[in-house]
A and B are shown apart, each in its own frame.
Chain A
């Protein structure tokens, strides 16, 4: 897979500049968005859209222009009864060229894959979503698609999958390898180099390594020699194990077994 370079001129909108909340009332799901686009030097007449999506569900809301922001009154997500899995993107696009048959409007700035805060449930944003999967042989695996990685737990082999992922056995034996597989995916398979988009799942994982584990920036991609990147991944997994106190946890549950 090719590395990603941003030649589009599109500016990434930082996560701290987009706050989206969801509320559920009377069977309807409604959202509110607070956008702060002041720092991006965008043209005042550029249009601002907020889009909600989940699988084939897609809804666009017109938030006016950069210079004259205006929230639509109706911010109810149609055909959505539960906010589970709904994500948002904020798009700032040039004011439409004359006629929709000419060419599409250029995207000037973007924030994508924004998970809203649910005011009712106050669920925290997880870096690694977990769901059940179908396998009668494999207990867990990580799925990579266009979107963020997803940890799957076999519903055939594990009845309480939510509890399972917090067991000391799983945390000590599986989590470090899951972390390694994700970093390997980001650096060696996707050769990801575009660090501008803070919402991009790859950048969120690299930020976690930097900010929570104290890792330096990963070395630059070099297809001829990946040893430096492999070493960086090893170091990051070591740091992850230290942070999670894996050795002590292992000793604890092994002792309990005996």
Chain B
């Protein structure tokens, strides 16, 4: 276990990181500029000392979120979730597992918000590959099993369930809805999403988000529980209800 001191990238460091990410989709991909993690011109130390495991491997978003939550919530850092440079630093530290090469050896980092977070925007904030799961974990830490539909994916591939449900503030904060989504799309026997959960058709997460947004305009989703909400859903979701019926008896577990 190799521990390093957690730091934050400064503006220059984030600009350098941006250049690197841009280069990956160009003709001359650069090497990961790991030196900026410790170089005083591109990064700075935090007011408190926090040690982070550099070689830690996270099978799913859940393990990363749990690790980071335990690490940061006990650190006395002031609102670490709002520190852009800190999350950019962490993303670069674990770049290899956040952006593994595809079959052709190419790395596709995707949009910038996956690496340097949007800390004030009301959209796009959930896309950061580490801060996104961290925020979900912080919100659902007391009943984390309910949020597994948003945390069971590999770090580098959050997928459509996250995109559809975490992108809307009123939906992601509804315990009934996220609990219902986990009941529909998460199979705790395989610790992953059920087949078809990434589709766009009937009963898909995309449809769930649309139906929930309609409910949200008329009803207060914070006054119903998961069971009640599941009963309200139209029959197009029956296929997913049946798929997860066996797993449901035990209740969703991380």
Interface residues of A (CB under 8 A from B): 8, 10, 49, 53-58, 60, 79-82, 84-85, 87, 91, 93, 96, 99-107, 131, 134, 136, 143, 145-148, 150, 155-156
Contact = CB atoms under 8 A, between A and B. Distances in A.
A107 B221 CA distance: 10
A87 B225 CA distance: 25
Contacts of B169: 53, 55-56, 58, 146
B172 to A, nearest CB: 6
A134 B223 contact: no
A224 B216 CA distance: 31
Given A55-B135, A56-B138, A146-B122, A104 B221 contact: yes
22 contacts: A10-B217, A49-B220, A53-B173, A56-B166, A56-B172, A57-B139, A58-B139, A80-B79, A85-B122, A101-B228, A103-B232, A104-B215, A104-B219, A104-B220, A104-B232, A105-B220, A131-B121, A134-B14, A143-B121, A147-B123, A148-B122, A155-B14
Q: Is the interface of A mostly helix, strand, loop or mixed?
A: loop
Nearest to B219: A104
A8 B18 contact: no
A55 B215 contact: no
Nearest to B123: A145
B120 A81 contact: no
A120 B219 CA distance: 35
Contacts of A81: 78-79
B120 A84 contact: yes
B168 A155 contact: no
Given A55-B125, A82-B79, A100 B15 contact: no
A99 B123 CA distance: 34
B223 A96 contact: yes
Contacts of A55: 122, 125-126, 135, 169
Contacts of B227: 101
A105 B121 contact: no
A10 B228 CA distance: 22
Contacts of B135: 55-56
A10 B225 CA distance: 22
Contacts, number: 110
Given A79-B138, A104-B224, A145-B124, 9 more contacts: A56-B126, A82-B82, A101-B231, A103-B219, A104-B220, A106-B219, A107-B219, A131-B120, A134-B18
Contact of A100 (B123, B136, B218, B225): B225
B220 A155 contact: no
- Nearest 3 interchain pairs by C-beta: A145-B123, A104-B219, A58-B173
A105 B224 CA distance: 8
A60 B217 CA distance: 18
Nearest to A85: B120
A80 B14 CA distance: 25
A112 to B, nearest CB: 9
A91 B232 CA distance: 22
Contact of B18 (A82, A150, A156): A156
A258 B44 CA distance: 43
Contacts of B217: 8, 10, 107
A136 B22 contact: yes
Contacts of A134: 14, 18, 112, 116
A91 B231 CA distance: 24
B55 interface: no
Interface in B23-72: none
B78 A107 contact: no
Interface in B153-208: 166-169, 172-173, 176
Contacts of A131: 120-121
